[in-house]
Amino acid sequence: MFQVRDILYQRYRLLEPLGKTAIGHQTWLADDLFSPIDLYSEQKKQWPWLTWVFNLNQVFRSKVYEKVTIKLLAFNPQLSWEQFKLFEREAKVLQGLDHAFIPRYRNYFEIPENMGNGVSWFGLVEDYIPGKSLQDLLDQGERFSEAKIRKIAIKILKILIYLHELNPPVLHRDIKPSNLILGENNNIYLIDFGAVQDQNSVTNISFTVVGTSGYTPLEQFWGKAVFSSDLYALGATLIHLLTGISPTDLHNQDYQIEFEEKVKINPSFQAWLTTLTETKISQRYQTARKALQALKTGKIAQKNNLVKGSKKHELKTKIKLNKKDKSLQIIVPSSRIKLFKQILKLETTLSNNPLEFSKIIPLVTVSGLFFIPFSLIFTGIMLQDPSFIMASLEIMGGMSFLIIFVLLLMYLISIISSKTCLVLDQETLKIQEKILGFEYHQEQESKNNILGIFIHQLLHQYNVTINTRKMIYQLGNKLTEEEAIWLAKELEDWLQGGRR
């Protein structure tokens, strides 16, 4: 939509797009036309009596402006409210940050519809950090030594100490190689606060950003991000830099990152990384300051988890998962009342599609079962015939018994055989509802519409949903915490683009 050399907000001239762009998002390198650079500032300090000469030279030279990064978000019907809230939260949080290795907030503006081809856009402006992301270096084949990894770890931990000890504390929630910039001055910068969360905004449900699988700790699947969640992401990032292998490809069946056999490093540093990436929050370092102290002193916390080589816990679940090269199929038990909910939706659907006779027949049948007995009783009253009224009451009682029997039978069948079948391929998301192997409902839409995977908790039971631009699809009924985490991780890993 926007092009090179476009000027936004009468101030920012776009130079080139940066990074990969998601739907409704754009990131640009731009000139800030309100911030020209004085090319002779150092010379003026050394020879102040020649200032007029330097100013004259500046007039005849092409102007150079400060570079900024502009993040743009389209406000359109496809945008989820959660995305807009995160964008606003990022702008708000960045305004309160002041750290040498975090891009400085500069501006926030809106582009009206008449200037955005019928779509409103919001822009967030921050300092541009020249350099390469650690992900770019990995893609170029660079491998990092243990000594270099230690230096990177110390620098990032110092940034996290600053963020976590603010009031209120700030959680980044999306630390990964592509969000760490190795600047031209060899310093490490933490960028992209698009998933940032302060402790005043913690919720019980949190979406997972598709594309960051492997760096996201399990507790973030339902919004329980804590200080050690950022430490887990840091540990996963450092392991990726050490091994050159994505953490997703190093998970075992319990989602612990196993990297010990992939690289030879100091045992104490290996134990430190393992502690950072423990799946259980209680077994990680609880603060960035404690993690930094342990790294510097070499006093590494002892692991409390299972001894390596012991028998792994096997997940017991009724969920069936079938992975293929280009598709993923998941079959889960449906809610016991899902069939009844679908029947109740028929009337609404019928009003929108009046010629769908396949839906008219069951409605007429069910309505007739209730209407006929009452019409017979009313007729008997009008005729003042007691025997006719008694016969009508007997018919109504028999039909009531029949209806109750049918409903109970449907409920029992639903308990035994009602299934939800999810099929994901490279193009589509398909949800099928089946009972006794027969499909009674289906929804289908483009896979590109998927916004994220959510875990919802109600008391001690869980369910998983896929949120798209059109609907919310529920998977699973009364899952255990372990089942919900496993199912959500499998979905996220497959959406990320590959099987482990």
Sheet of 7-8, strands arranged across: 7-8, 12-17, 25-36, 65-75, 120-127, 105-111
What's the full length of the chain, in residues?
500
Q: CB atoms < 10 A from the CB of 300, how many?
A: 18
Element (H, E) at 292: helix 288-297
Q: At what angle do helices 267-276 and 227-243 cross, to 10 degrees?
A: 130
Question: Which architecture, in CATH terms, is 1-128?
Answer: 2-Layer Sandwich (3.30)
**pLDDT reported for residue 339:** 56
- The answer to whether 35 and 71 have CB atoms below 8 angstroms apart is no
Q: What is the dihedral sign for C-alpha 102, 105, 110, 116?
A: negative
Summarised one tens digit per residue, pLDDT across range 92-116 is: 999 999 999 999 999 999 998 888 7
**pLDDT reported for residue 436:** 76
Dmax over CA atoms of the chain, in Å, equals 121
Domain with CATH 3.30.200.20 in the chain: 1-128
pLDDT in tens, the chain (500 residues): 789 999 999 999 999 998 655 667 899 999 999 998 887 677 777 888 777 776 777 666 778 899 999 999 988 765 666 678 888 889 999 999 999 999 999 999 999 888 877 788 999 999 999 999 999 999 999 989 999 999 999 999 999 999 999 988 999 988 999 999 999 889 999 999 887 765 444 333 334 443 356 788 887 766 677 899 999 999 999 999 999 999 988 988 777 899 999 999 998 999 999 999 998 888 999 999 999 999 998 776 554 433 343 344 567 788 888 888 788 888 888 765 555 555 555 444 444 444 454 555 555 565 655 566 667 667 767 777 777 767 766 777 777 777 778 777 766 776 677 788 888 888 888 888 887 777 777 888 888 778 677 777 666 677 788 877 777 788 876 788 778 878 887 887 777 664 34
**Residues facing 7 on adjacent strands:** 13
**pLDDT reported for residue 21:** 58
Distance CA 378, CA 392 (A): 9
pTM of the model: 0.66
**pLDDT reported for residue 77:** 63
- 496-499 contact pairs (CB < 8 A, 24+): 496/210, 496/211, 496/213, 496/214, 496/248, 498/248, 499/323, 499/325
Summarised one tens digit per residue, pLDDT across range 138-161 is: 999 998 999 999 999 999 999 999
**pLDDT reported for residue 56:** 73
**pLDDT reported for residue 204:** 37
Q: 65-75 and 120-127: which strand pairing?
A: antiparallel
Question: Which architecture, in CATH terms, is 320-335+418-496?
Answer: Roll (2.30)
Let me know if domain 131-303 sits in CATH 1.10.10.10.
no
- Tokens 């905004």: give the residue: 201
Q: What is the dihedral sign for C-alpha 363, 368, 369, 371?
A: positive
Domain with CATH 2.30.29 in the chain: 320-335+418-496
The torsion angle over the Cα atoms of residues 101, 106, 110 and 115, rounded to 10 degrees, is -100
Summarised one tens digit per residue, pLDDT across range 432-447 is: 888 777 777 788 888 8
